[in-house]
Amino acid sequence: MAKNKVKYLIIGNSAGGIGAAEAIRELDKRGTLAIVSDEPYPAYSRPLISEYLAERCPLEKMLFRPADFYGNNNIETFLGRKAKWLDIDEHIIELESGETISWKKLLLATGGLPIVPQIKGAEMEGVFTFTTLDDAKAIDRFLDEFPQKPLKAVVIGGGLIGVSVTEALVKRGIRVTIVEMKERLLNTILDEEASALEEENLKQFGVEIITGHTVAEVSSYSGGAVTSVTLDDSRPIPCDLVIVAIGVVPRTELVSGNRIKVNRGIVVDRYMATSSPDVYACGDAAEAYDFIYGENRLTPIWPNAYLGGRVAGFNMAGISTQYPGGTAMNSLKYFGLDVVSAGIVNPPDDGYEVLSKKDKNIYRKVVLKDGKVVGMVFGGNIEKSGIILSLMKDKVNVDGFNQALVAFDFGLVSLPEEIWRPQLEMPPSGLVSSVSIEQPEEVSLGE
């Protein structure tokens, strides 16, 4: 028999799990609620781990909610304890500690695991990943061992995680080389023009960028600390540490062998429910509805996780609530350059209309399909990007004023009055519709 019994059990203590807990407590003040996490910390903002590495940002300033959040909301916590086994028929979960918890409603907000490719020598001292606070702490401790030595780092991967850790390392005085397999940085979320802006900006801060190649081997002296990496073309790059920052994959190992449907991630419906009764999923682990593509997709970013968690929480507490859908959306500011992207930024065929304008370090691009906005990239000046996001979410037909969308003086007054007046009364992000949500400050990282 399970030692612990709760009405609501949440596996995961980040954006999705906290969103669900808050929604549950809005509707059910007394039902027993527990959160399990293999990390020992209160919920913190994962985008801020780069700030920790760069400036040793204290945990108190990284917290997603106040430290007394759990006590104030009567939430039992099992922090630093990993869930290892799930029985959906008996409604029981077992932790690695041997404890068991029985539940009536379960949310899987398990997040993602870093992708670590098969690289010879990847197990050596001085090779790190960068997705959790403990990763940032491990790199910080390593750097402290060489306070006087000018270090060199190789970052494998030029996506969000890779560029984020690069900025942190540069702020610590480390010379960084990024090795990206594709032909340009941030290739999954930016188009060629915006990627070029980012690359030029990084180079101005001394970052070396190698694209179109991979790391084949990490080398060291007699199995000790890292001394270099070798690329797939046999080119050596001397370095003292390596950061593997290729991306993340959904954590679905807990549902392996169960009847819960899994594609690339755990498949959920518009109510964030899985194929198994009483089991829900959200965040990086889940494939949820994307309102741009009109189908389920992985959209591993912070606001989507939080929104999906809240929707799941409402449904777990008995109030039928539909997920309005999220989409890929990222707001970046690396080395002082602001960039926002959302939806389809690289159209797959000629069935899309692309509008763009560029002037020095300011770039704007809007992608249309059948007269409606389905994607955008703003670089340099992103002040009015929220208006475009709202037009995307509301599926507004922009025929007749589409050229205004990329004008440098674009604003609400650029739209017809019947469109801009209702916009003044709506949430600004375009990610909130029928669900009342207090959104977190971070628009990304999602990986």
* Same domain for 104 and 8: yes
pTM attached to this predicted model: 0.90
Asked, for residue 327, whether it belongs to a domain, the answer is no
> Given this model, what pLDDT does residue 423 score?
59
The continuous run of DSSP H or E covering 275 comes out as none
Q: Give the residue from 283, 316, 349 where a domain finishes.
A: 316
233 found inside a domain: yes
One domain, residues 201 and 302: no
Question: What is the Cα–Cα distance from 325 to 327, expressed in whole angstroms?
Answer: 7
**Co-location of 237 and 265 in the same domain:** no
CATH number at residue 352: 3.30.390.30
Whether 99 and 134 map to the same domain: the answer is no
390 inside domain: yes
Based on the domain organization, do 235 and 295 belong to the same domain?
no
- Give SS3 for 179: strand
pLDDT, position 12:
98
Asked whether residue 16 falls in the same domain as residue 99, the answer is yes
The pLDDT assigned to 439 comes to 31
Residues 349 and 312 both lie in one domain: no
Residue 193: CATH number of its domain = 3.50.50.60
Give the pLDDT of residue 142.
95
Question: Considering all CA atoms of the chain, what is the largest pairwise distance in Å, rounded to the nearest integer?
Answer: 71
- Are 291 and 385 within one domain? no
Strands 226-231 and 215-220: antiparallel
Per the structure, the complete domain to which residue 376 belongs is given by: 337-423
Write down the pLDDT at residue 442: 34
* Judgement on whether residues 354 and 304 belong to the same structural domain of the protein: no
Q: At residue 330, what are phi and psi to the nearest 5 degrees?
A: -140, 135
Query: What would you report as the CA-atom Rg of the chain, rounded to the nearest whole angstrom?
Result: 23
Residue 139 lies in a domain: yes
Residue 21 lies in a domain: yes
pLDDT for res 427? 53
Angle at 41 between CA 126 and CA 336, to 5 degrees: 65
pLDDT digits over 184-221, tens only?
999 999 999 999 999 999 999 999 999 999 999 999 87
Last residue of a domain, one of 203, 231, 246: 246
Of the residues 246, 276, 296, the one at which a domain ends: 246
- Which of 125, 157, 159 minimizes the C-alpha distance to 227? 125
pLDDT for the residue 420: 67
Q: DSSP secondary structure string, 76-141?
A: EEEET--EEEEETTTTEEEETTS-EEEEEEEEE---EEE-----BTTTSTTEEE-SSHHHHHHHHH
H or E, element range at 391: helix 385-393
253 located within any domain: yes
Q: Are residues 241 and 131 in the same domain?
A: yes
Residues 20 and 77 in one domain: yes
List Cβ<8 Å contacts ≥24 apart for 251-258.
Answer: 251/110, 251/111, 251/112, 251/113, 251/284, 251/285, 252/110, 252/285, 254/11, 254/83, 254/84, 254/85, 254/86, 254/108, 254/110, 255/86, 255/108, 258/86, 258/88
- The series of mean pLDDT values per 10 residues for the chain, 447 residues long, is 85 97 97 97 94 93 94 97 95 95 98 93 93 97 90 97 97 97 96 95 97 96 85 97 95 92 97 97 97 94 95 98 95 93 95 93 94 95 89 91 89 74 56 33 34
Structure tokens at 15: 């954006």
Question: Where does residue 1 rank: exposed (0-12), middle (13-18), buried (19+ CB within 10 A)?
Answer: exposed
Q: Which of 308, 264, 270, 311 minimizes the C-alpha distance to 289? A: 270
134 shares its domain with 191: yes
**Could you tell me if residue 382 is inside a domain?**
yes
Question: Could you give the angle at the alpha carbon of 268 between the alpha carbons of 430 and 92, nearest 5°?
Answer: 130
Q: What's the pLDDT at 187?
A: 95
DSSP 226-264: EEEEEETTS-EEE-SEEEE-S-EEE--GGGTTSS--BSS
Number of domains in the chain: 3
Q: Which two tokens stand for residue 178?
A: 């990024």
Closest-CA residue to 104 (of 93, 94, 96): 93
Q: Is 429 part of any domain?
A: no
Token pair of 77 as six digits? 């916590």
